[in-house]
Amino acid sequence: MANESGVRPLRADAARNRRAVIDAARHAFAQNGVNASLEDVARAAGVGPGTLYRHFPTRNDLVLAVIEDGLAELHRLGVELLDDPDPLSALTRWLQAYIDQNSMYEGVARTFASPPPDGDERSSCRLALDVGAALIHRAVDADADDVRALASAIAWIDGQLPPDPERRARLLRMMLDGIRPR
């Protein structure tokens, strides 16, 4: 470990390439989903495929880098909502934001659903999930992983079906309230 933040410093050109790859990936993912061609991403970033693989050994590593900002935002929002006097309303709003992030790029719900890469306990990913768990436990009597899993599942299925702008909200309500017997 090379410095106190745990992040080994990169040579200037390496850092530049890393940023270029992330930016190119963000555009490609927005256009074609997270399964966009990595060859295209590398070309758009102006680097060779080997450079892309050096920085991001797996596709999921690259996806995580692209959604980094979204995870930080989920963390920030979660901390803010912990001050909300209504725990259930706060949780609902956070889950809405979580589902929105899960729907940002086609196929990205898979990454949100997967367990966070271990190693850094202070990663945006871990921080966001932790504050989510706190909001869940504060509001309802349920397992935090189950609640988050079902929220990711809602984002996934919504992306599979013909567009319906109301569906995400309906399914979230169904998840929170359950189905009412006739």
Partner DNA sequence: ACCTGAACACCGTTCAAGT
Q: Which does 3 bind (CB under 5 to 8 A by kind): DNA, a second copy, none?
A: none
Secondary element (H or E) of residue 70: helix 59-81
Plot region of 9 (φ>0 → left; ψ -120 to 50 → alpha; else → beta)? beta
Q: Which is nearer to DNA, 7 or 142 (CB)?
A: 7
Q: Which does 48 bind (CB under 5 to 8 A by kind): a second copy, DNA, none?
A: DNA
Q: Which does 83 bind (CB under 5 to 8 A by kind): a second copy, DNA, none?
A: none
Please say whether the beta carbons of 19 and 3 come within 8 A: no
State both tokens at 24. Answer: 């190119």
Cα 2-5-11 angle, rounded to 5 deg: 50
> Using CB under 7 A as the criterion, which residues of the chain lie in contact with DNA when the complex forms?
10-11, 13-14, 17-18, 35-40, 46-51, 53-55, 58-59
Q: State the virtual CA torsion across 14, 15, 21, 25 in degrees, nearest 10.
A: 150
Q: State yes or no: residue 167 binds a second copy (CB under 8 A).
A: yes
d(CA 148, CA 180): 22
Q: Which is nearer to a second copy, 24 or 71 (CB)?
A: 71
Q: State yes or no: residue 85 binds a second copy (CB under 8 A).
A: no
Q: State yes or no: residue 174 binds a second copy (CB under 8 A).
A: yes
Site string for a second copy, 110-149 (x = CB under 8 A): x--xxx----------------------xxxxxx--xx-x
Q: What is the CA radius of gyration of the chain?
A: 18
Q: Which does 59 bind (CB under 5 to 8 A by kind): a second copy, DNA, none?
A: DNA
d(CA 2, CA 22): 23
Q: State yes or no: residue 165 binds a second copy (CB under 8 A).
A: no
Q: State the virtual CA torsion across 116, 119, 122, 124 in degrees, nearest 10.
A: -40
Q: Which does 165 bind (CB under 5 to 8 A by kind): DNA, a second copy, none?
A: none
By three-state DSSP, how is residue 41 classified?
helix
- Which residue ranges make up the site for a second copy (CB under 8 A)? 87-88, 110, 113-115, 138-143, 146-147, 149-150, 152-154, 156-157, 160-162, 167, 170-171, 174-182
